[in-house]
Structure 1
Amino acid sequence: REARERGNSVYFPEHVVPMLPEVLSNGLCSLNPEVDRLCMVCEMHISKTGRLESFRFHEGLMRSHARLTYDEMAEIVVDRKIEARKRRGDLVVHLDRLYELYKVLHKARQRRGAIDFETVETRIEFNDQRKIERIVPVIRNDAHRLIEECMILANVAAARFLEKKKICTLYRIHEGPAEDRLEDVRTFLAELGLSLGGGDSPTAKDYARLLKQVQGRPDAQLIQTVLLRSLKQAVYSPDNKGHFGLSLKAYTHFTSPIRRYPDLLVHRAIRHLLRGGKPEEFRYGHADMEVLGDHCSQTERRADEATRDVMDWLKTEYMQDKLGEEFDGIITSVTSFGLFVQLTDIYVEGLVHVTSLKSDYYRFDPVGHRLIGENSGRVYRLGDPIRVLVARVDLEEKKIDFQPVEPEDEAERTPARKSRRGGKGRGKGKGGGKPGSKSAASGKRKGKKKGK
């Protein structure tokens, strides 16, 4: 009952709120090395071209022979470091074969047209006083992608199995872009001399083809961001509508029953069938799954928001001693009330309110993702680089305000204390921008995560 209410585990920096009691999540249900564990097995046969040819599910008993980190796995199969390979002995031949399988699955993914957005996740490193030492990007390597492809394949097998048996379950669905968003995307792309294929119903392959086309362009990150934001969020539903982003006709979540309640429901459905139960005798009906799908989609969003709130607080605390310092950044969002800017190499985001822009009236262009000065013609656009000064840090509200640093301001300014990234401090500049706008503290960005 508690697991159902929580819906999923919640991951904070160096702390986890588990969905299941820790005696289960870290003990009896955890695949610790060299201990026997009950499990649900998905045995799959895959062709040389990466096609899932057949599969079967059965209950089993397993013993893990090793617990590898992603970095260690990469050292063994990607970098092929001698010491790392010696350390794992007889396991290496199996790991090498698994890596060869990944290469086949990756090519199949590309042929299928699954969308690959390159996003940056961050990790906070703390010092001995439990204060932030640094914020670093999480670098994805082929070991991460290998596990991801294997999990996707198992999820597909589970979805196909349950759909064929016509038993009520929860699918992980991701619908295509809404018509109004699609129209905005096409208008935006047309200004750049680009187009999205597929007419009124583009496929994931059309998105993937465009992303490949713009690789290497200076505005590639901008285009990717606009395409990503045109898509809907993935949700849980008893009605299979396919997964647009992965370009799959049927998809569910099967691989993480310890930390996601929908996976637990999928396991129950599979076990019901394996033990001779009939679909119509399953304890959950369509109406039950509708309620559970809505609930689990909501708890997933709730977990994302809680994690984001904690990260925002920690990052705000980290910036408290940096008032007056200057940093380079990238515009990550444009709104009618200003610009959200992420600091380069620090991954902290704050607001440049429209009133802190140079004296002008700035018109918001939502389709072009930009603010345009009516008199000066100055444009601030999503993805543009910008240099900013830290003007205000409010820990209680978890908000950071920046002011833009104009080239002419830098020339006129008397040098002050240097920032940790080689910048220089200064006092507040005069306000400008949009008359009658809200205070900087009132602006709040509402981001969405596009989950798989």
Structure 2
Amino acid sequence: MARKRKNQPGTDPYLEREQRKYENPVPSREFILAQLEENARPLSRGELAELFGLSDDDALEGLRRRLRAMERDGQVVRNRRNGYLVVDNEDLVRGRVRSGPEGWGVLRPDLGGQEVFLSPREMRNLLHGDRAVVRIVGMDRQDRPEGEIVEVIERANRTVAGRFFSESGVGFLVPDNKRIHQDVIIPPADQAGADNGDLVVAELLNQPTRRRQPIGRVIEVVGRNIPAGSEIDVAARVHSIPVEWPAEVETEAATFGDKVPAAAKRGREDLRRVPLVTIDGPDARDFDDAVYCEPTTNGWKLLVAIADVAHYVQPGSPLDREASERGNSVYFPRSVVPMLPEVLSNGLCSLNPKVDRLCMVCEMQISREGKLRRSRFYEGVMRSSARLTYDEAKAIHIDRDPGVRRRYRGVLKHVDNLFALYRALRKDRERRGAIDFETTETELEFDEQGQIAAVRPTERHDAHKLIEECMVRANVAAARFLERKRVPALFRVHERPNAERLDNLRQFLAQTGLRLEGGDKPSPKDYARLMQRVHKRPDRHLIETVLLRSMMAADYRPGNDGHFGLALDAYTHFTSPIRRYPDLVVHRAIKHTLNGGKPGEFGYSHDELVTLGEHCSMTDRRAEEASRDAEMTLKCRYMSAHVGDEFTGVVSGVTGFGLFVELDNVYVDGLIHITNLESDFFHFDPIGHRLTGERTGKEYRLTDRIRVRVARVDIDERKIDFEPIAHPLDANGELMEDGTRRRGSGRRQQKKGKSGQRQRQRGRGRRGGQR
């Protein structure tokens, strides 16, 4: 029997916030959800209006619009009797869809938790990146929850870039984004003169349904090949990254001058005599943060001053809407797609030297042991004393370079203080057990024609780590402040590895004679201790690579669940509001509290923060994928001049269809297809990350060294094919023993299961070949 509905639902706890936002407020989203849950049954709009005592036309219309907005955002769904049900329970889950190989997909819940598997049949009316509500209908063969689509709540792809083809009078576009598996139908009237094989951009006129593919019209014909110099534009189009500024944004940006007005400086703490400095890369143009440190009786006082973007970008303004849509700046080789127009990102907000700038300051007291003892936040006005590069900071303190020290003699003592503080912060990081993976990042050197002349590894020294540690402490202080004041905001959450990842990791470690401590819930210290134990082993890189791949991806959420990799209980992003929208939200939350606002009066509801956090997590991943694609196109163009040349490299990936190899000194990845290996049937072991020959016993493992020849380069597809020459090689590039590693050489042989089936016939398919 249904529970009887209450007559008086009580007072809406968010009424004051609603009254500030709307002239005729209706019950808040939180209050509506609470009443639906309390009544424990679907309620129609009429029943909800009666429950809340709404009778006049304006109030009823307001309720209708609110419920429609809640449907649109996936908070509620309507059943066939027009009753509203709450989403995010045991049966209904909302989240963003990520496409997998072979047409299936997974939905990542907005509130975290286990991903929901979506069959190829369910994926027919979805594209990669769409948001949807699904109903859990059971468990799949891998014991994952399986879902069916209830409602698509957001379409992520307004345009799609890819190759145009025409067969038997039917035009279609094959998406360049490998995660979009459905071709787009292009009617004859909408082909804009595109020829077979042309790279085009199409606007989607109709999204896919269960019975119909997406339909689009060509809005731009790029041409048969990606023109040299347009790699970045193409990558931005492929990943639907906004590049052009809407007219209303440009109009608003034009209202800002290049100087901070005197009125804006009033009421702020004056830090213009404090020798704050910025330390960034040589090509940086937007300076988010400045630092200053001085010793105290019990440790240090550290100031981290951050550009006060929130002063200029007001909630709901055209600038704010566009920044929210972009989510973050996207950094490409040689260029950037900024989150904010240059008048702000490189001008009025950037902490340029010798000019007045508004800032948000995190002042911290750090103990001699490097622990954050207390902190406070305030609005300030500052004037950066110097713009240092990382190499200049290193030259001042570590190298003691006379010329550099003479140039920056006004800040020498303060830079020395920062390095002294860094040494304490570093020790505290090690005591916590924060996980440090050694990865190689590269920088591209370009010639006058804009093509790659060389690829070099970037040197990461103590000046980089100094700024990183200062920013981490400021982010921790901001997270603690938000928790202490109970004001809602976005946290940067990095979960511990889930059960499946831990199980795979432990199976791999068992083959190497190692063990990860910590049981079902290993701590960062357990990871750190294991990395210390393998530091001098010859297979250290293999083990560290597998450890890194066992990690979860970090994301943005309104709930603080800590940061596993940094071994921190509370963490957020506060230090880069010029280029990350979540940081701007955190600044607004801090300002709200500093100005006497109550937690329930903050301008964002919990559900708005859930949706915003998921959106910013998506734009973060999108930016990474787009940047990687642009860089790979440039590297393919560079490698096209080396077809036939031989290189040494390391196996960077092992799959059922072959090996990915990263070349030494070039840092370019390519594929050795399994059909190019020895005349043998190779079994793929996903736990051991290796291919093993059935007849010869020859093994190829992750991080093995190998010599290859460049066989083919496809610039437009961003693919490089290698042929093996010699394997395995030692550290000097010489062939080891007879070049054959046999099964059972000090490792337990894996039982053959489905992963041990013959792989000769498996290819990468039309969309394969890219990890």
| Same fold? TM cut 0.5 | yes
Q: State the 1:294 CA deviation.
A: 0.2
Q: Distance in 1 between matches of 2:701 and 2:503?
A: 19
For each residue in 1:220-253, what CA deviation from the matched residue of structure 2 results, as whole angstroms up to 9, or x when unmatched? 1111110000010000000111000000000000
- 1:94 aligns with one of 414, 419, 422: 414
Amino acid aligned to 2:332: F
Q: Aligned residue for 1:140?
A: 460
Contact conserved, 1:44 with 1:56, CA < 8 A, in 2?
yes
Q: Distance in 1 between matches of 2:435 and 2:419?
A: 21
Q: Aligned residue for 1:103?
A: 423
Length, aligned pairs only: 423
Cα RMSD (Å):
1.4
Q: State the 1:177 CA deviation.
A: 0.6
Amino acid aligned to 2:329: S
Amino acid aligned to 2:451: K
Q: State the 1:82 CA deviation.
A: 2.0
Q: Aligned residue for 1:437?
A: 762
Aligned ranges for residues 361-440 of structure 1 at < 5 Å? 361-406=681-726, 434-438=759-763
Q: State the 1:45 CA deviation.
A: 0.4
Question: Is 1:186 the counterpart of 2:506 in the alignment?
Answer: yes
Aligned ranges for residues 122-201 of structure 1 at < 5 Å? 122-201=442-521
For each residue in 1:401-452, what CA deviation from the matched residue of structure 2 results, as whole angstroms up to 9, or x when unmatched? 00111379x9xxxxxxxxxxxxxxxxxxxxxx94322158753333xxxxxx
Question: Is 1:55 the counterpart of 2:380 in the alignment?
Answer: no
Q: State the 1:113 CA deviation.
A: 0.3
Q: Distance in 2 between matches of 1:80 and 1:114?
A: 30
Q: Aligned residue for 1:356?
A: 676
Q: Aligned residue for 1:332?
A: 652
Contact conserved, 1:185 with 1:226, CA < 8 A, in 2?
yes
- 1:282 aligns with one of 575, 598, 602: 602
Q: Distance in 1 between matches of 2:671 and 2:501?
A: 25
Q: Aligned residue for 2:545?
A: 225
For each residue in 1:177-235, what CA deviation from the matched residue of structure 2 results, as whole angstroms up to 9, or x when unmatched? 11111111111111111111111110111101111111122111111110000010000
Contact conserved, 1:166 with 1:279, CA < 8 A, in 2?
yes
Do the aligned partners of residues 391 and 166 (structure 1) sit closer, same or farther apart at CA in structure 2, a change above 3 Å counting?
same
Q: Distance in 2 between matches of 1:165 and 1:139?
A: 40
- 2:352 aligns with one of 27, 32, 54: 32
Of 99-108 and 397-406, more deviation after overlay is shown by 397-406
- 1:258 aligns with one of 550, 575, 578: 578
The structure with the greater share of residues assigned to helix is 1
Q: Distance in 1 between matches of 2:628 and 2:595?
A: 42
SS at match of 2:387: coil
Q: Aligned residue for 2:90?
A: none
SS at match of 2:427: helix
Q: Distance in 2 between matches of 1:129 and 1:184?
A: 47
Amino acid aligned to 1:336: G
Question: Is 1:205 the counterpart of 2:525 in the alignment?
Answer: yes
SS at match of 1:405: strand
SS at match of 1:129: coil
- 2:392 aligns with one of 47, 72, 94: 72
Contact conserved, 1:185 with 1:367, CA < 8 A, in 2?
yes
Contact conserved, 1:353 with 1:440, CA < 8 A, in 2?
no
Q: Aligned residue for 2:284?
A: none
Do the aligned partners of residues 27 and 58 (structure 1) sit closer, same or farther apart at CA in structure 2, a change above 3 Å counting?
same
Contact conserved, 2:669 with 2:720, CA < 8 A, in 1?
yes
Q: Aligned residue for 1:319?
A: 639
Amino acid aligned to 1:225: T
Q: Aligned residue for 2:334?
A: 14
Q: Aligned residue for 1:5?
A: 325
Contact conserved, 1:327 with 1:387, CA < 8 A, in 2?
yes
Q: Aligned residue for 1:422?
A: none
> Mind listing any 5+ residue stretches in structure 2 that lack a counterpart?
1-320, 729-734, 736-757
Identity of aligned residues (%): 59
Q: State the 1:293 CA deviation.
A: 0.4
For each residue in 1:101-145, what CA deviation from the matched residue of structure 2 results, as whole angstroms up to 9, or x when unmatched? 000000000000000001011110001121111000111010000
For each residue in 1:238-287, what CA deviation from the matched residue of structure 2 results, as whole angstroms up to 9, or x when unmatched? 01110000000000000000000000000000001111111110000110
Contact conserved, 1:31 with 1:64, CA < 8 A, in 2?
yes
Q: Distance in 1 between matches of 2:770 and 2:547?
A: 18
Contact conserved, 1:399 with 1:441, CA < 8 A, in 2?
no
Q: Distance in 1 between matches of 2:329 and 2:546?
A: 30
Give me the TM-score of the superposition, normalised by structure 1.
0.92
Q: Distance in 2 between matches of 1:336 and 1:86?
A: 59
Q: State the 1:81 CA deviation.
A: 1.7
Q: Distance in 1 between matches of 2:375 and 2:488?
A: 20
Q: Distance in 2 between matches of 1:241 and 1:143?
A: 30
Amino acid aligned to 2:600: E
Do the aligned partners of residues 201 and 339 (structure 1) sit closer, same or farther apart at CA in structure 2, a change above 3 Å counting?
same
Do the aligned partners of residues 440 and 332 (structure 1) sit closer, same or farther apart at CA in structure 2, a change above 3 Å counting?
farther
For each residue in 1:7-44, what CA deviation from the matched residue of structure 2 results, as whole angstroms up to 9, or x when unmatched? 00000011011001110000000000000000000000
Contact conserved, 2:662 with 2:669, CA < 8 A, in 1?
yes
Do the aligned partners of residues 407 and 340 (structure 1) sit closer, same or farther apart at CA in structure 2, a change above 3 Å counting?
closer
Amino acid aligned to 1:160: R
Q: Distance in 2 between matches of 1:233 and 1:379?
A: 30
Contact conserved, 1:188 with 1:368, CA < 8 A, in 2?
yes
Do the aligned partners of residues 381 and 407 (structure 1) sit closer, same or farther apart at CA in structure 2, a change above 3 Å counting?
closer
Q: Aligned residue for 1:46?
A: 366
For each residue in 1:150-172, what CA deviation from the matched residue of structure 2 results, as whole angstroms up to 9, or x when unmatched? 00000000000001111110000
Contact conserved, 2:573 with 2:583, CA < 8 A, in 1?
yes
Contact conserved, 1:401 with 1:440, CA < 8 A, in 2?
no
Q: Distance in 1 between matches of 2:541 and 2:665?
A: 16
Q: Distance in 1 between matches of 2:340 and 2:403?
A: 38
SS at match of 2:388: coil
Give me the TM-score of the superposition, normalised by structure 2.
0.54
Amino acid aligned to 2:344: L
| Structure with greater Cα Rg | 2
Contact conserved, 1:360 with 1:434, CA < 8 A, in 2?
no
SS at match of 1:244: coil
Q: Distance in 1 between matches of 2:322 and 2:400?
A: 45
Q: Distance in 1 between matches of 2:623 and 2:759?
A: 36
For each residue in 1:334-389, what CA deviation from the matched residue of structure 2 results, as whole angstroms up to 9, or x when unmatched? 00011000001100000011110010000000000000000000000000001111
SS at match of 2:578: coil
Amino acid aligned to 2:613: G
Do the aligned partners of residues 198 and 445 (structure 1) sit closer, same or farther apart at CA in structure 2, a change above 3 Å counting?
farther
Q: Distance in 2 between matches of 1:368 and 1:225?
A: 12
SS at match of 2:574: coil
Q: Distance in 1 between matches of 2:704 and 2:578?
A: 42
SS at match of 2:697: coil
